[in-house]
Amino acid sequence: MASLSRAHSFNTAAARYAANRPSYPPALLDAVEELWGRPLAGARVADVGAGTGIATALLRERGAGVLAVEPGDGMAAQFRGTLPDVPIVRGDGNALPLADASCDLVTYAQSWHWTDTDRSAPEALRVLRPEGALAVWWNTHALDVPWIAAQHERIARHCGGEPSSEALPDDRHAVRLAGLSGLRVARRQVGWGRTVSLETHLANISSHSAFLVLGEGAAQAFLADEHTRLRELFPAGSVEERYVVDLLVAARP
C-alpha cells in the first residue's frame, strides 16, 4: 500500500514534475538504438508510465511513432497539455491496453519499478513484434560527486530510509529479463549533467515520491535547510547536477 500511495502521489505535483525534472541526454537514445540494433525512426513505440511526456517527446524527436500509456489522472492531464498531438491511453504496465504484437519497442522511463514485474514483463513480450525490444531506464544520481552523495544521505535520513546505491536496473532486473523467452539483455550507463537554478534543483527534489508523501511541513523544513547548505556551495545560485542514466535493453533475437 505504501508503494501504491507513492506511485499515485505524482498526480498532485504533475506541473512541478514537468517543470523541474531532468530530461535525458541524446547519448541515451543512441545507446537504445545500438543495443537494440535498430533505429528509432519509424519504429512503433509504447512509452509506458509516460508521466508528463519527458521521454515521449525525445522518442518522437527521433522519428518514432509513439503511443503513451499512463495510469495517473494528473500526469495524463499534464501530458495532454504538453504533447496534445501524441496519443495517450490510460493504463499501466501490469495490464497494457495494447493489442498483441503491436509495438516494435516498449519503453519505461523512471517507471519500471512501479510495476509488478511478474506481470509487466510478460505483458511487454505480449505486445512486442518479432525482433522487438523492451527498454527500461532511470536517471540516477552520480554518487561519486561528494556533495551529491552527502545530499543523497540527508534525503534518505529525512525520509526515513537508508541511502541506496541507486543502481535501480540492477542485476536482478537483468536476470529476470534474460529468463523470459531467451531475450538478449544488455546494460549501459550514460553519464551526463545539467546546470539549473538552486530553486529548480530544490523543486526537482520536492517532486520525488518520498517527499510528496511526507506532507508539506516536513518537506518544506528539509528544503529550507538544504537551500542554506547549497547556497554556501553554489553562491552564484546555479547548481551543477550530475546523473548516470542506467539503461537495460531486452531484445528479441
pLDDT, tens only, 155-207: 988 887 654 444 444 555 555 665 665 788 999 999 999 999 999 999 999 88
Segment 28-35 shows an average pLDDT of 98
Q: Give the separation between CA 158 and CA 242, rounded to whole angstroms.
A: 22
Which residues have a Cβ under 8 Å from the Cβ of 135 and sit 6 or more positions away?
Answer: 32, 35, 36, 105, 106, 107, 108, 247, 248, 249, 250
Residue type, 84: P
Q: Are 43 and 64 in contact (CB under 8 A)?
A: yes
Closest CA to 35 of 144, 142, 164, 169: 169
What is residue 160's three-state secondary structure?
A: coil
In this predicted model, what pLDDT tens digit does every residue of 215-241 receive, in sequence order?
677 788 899 999 999 999 999 999 999
Supply φ then ψ for residue 102, to 5 degrees: -105, -5
Q: Which domains does the chain have, with CATH numbers?
A: 2-141+166-193+242-251 (3.40.50.150)
Entry pTM? 0.89
Per DSSP bridges, beta strands 184-197 and 238-251 are: antiparallel
